[in-house]
Structure 1
């Protein structure tokens, strides 16, 4: 999501950052996680913050086509061109465009990023 500021006329991105505490799944319920520890050293609420430079893999996808398994295998993110950068790579927001792909690189739909609370606690 972006909004245009009146003062500068530039887009300002808004939304929660994806981090190690975010729940991400493929459209068929498979779990999406970074293939390795995120390359950035930035943390939010103690969780590392991945960027578009990180590789994301999918496990547990049960997608089939005519009874033949075609599970999601990877996710490719397409961040907004005006994204905030960490070490030169765009950060990922919960609303950042992305697609899940099969091992044969067939697009299979967007991942689902569950909104997560940040720094909230209760007594």
Structure 2
């Protein structure tokens, strides 16, 4: 049995793609809050804006962020709560994987172990 621990990712966290574009959730669970901020789960949708990544001089920015949290953690409406240690990758509009995001989740209120 594997276990994971980490800081819960809420709307207060700063998420960026590996190239510096800003990732933000277009959905969250407003009923569950951490220090007043909605908590994010694997079912939330994340978009990336402002990614400067290019390939051979042509823009090829990150546009989405997808999470793959380990099973067995805390659930909200059946979906795993995201931790700063949860596996994730940024993708281009052509679904090309660009690498993991950078997550700056402040240790506020609670952590999940």
Could you tell me the TM-score, scaled by structure 1's length?
A: 0.83
User: Is 2:80 aligned against 1:90?
Assistant: yes
Q: CA deviation at 1:39?
A: 3.4
- Count of residue correspondences: 109
Structure 1 or 2: more strand by fraction: 2
Aligned residue in 1 for 2:46: 56
Structure showing greater relative contact order (alpha-carbon pairs closer than 8 Å, 6 or more residues apart):
2
Deviations 1:63-121 (A, max 9, x none): 000110000000110010222111100110001000000001000000000141315xx
Once superposed, which parts of structure 1, at least 4 consecutive aligned residues long, lie more than 6 Å away?
none
User: Is 2:21 aligned against 1:30?
Assistant: yes
Aligned residue in 2 for 1:104: 94
Q: CA deviation at 1:40?
A: 5.1
Could you tell me the TM-score, scaled by structure 2's length?
A: 0.90
- Please list every run of 5 or more consecutive structure 1 residues that lacks an aligned counterpart in the other structure: 1-9
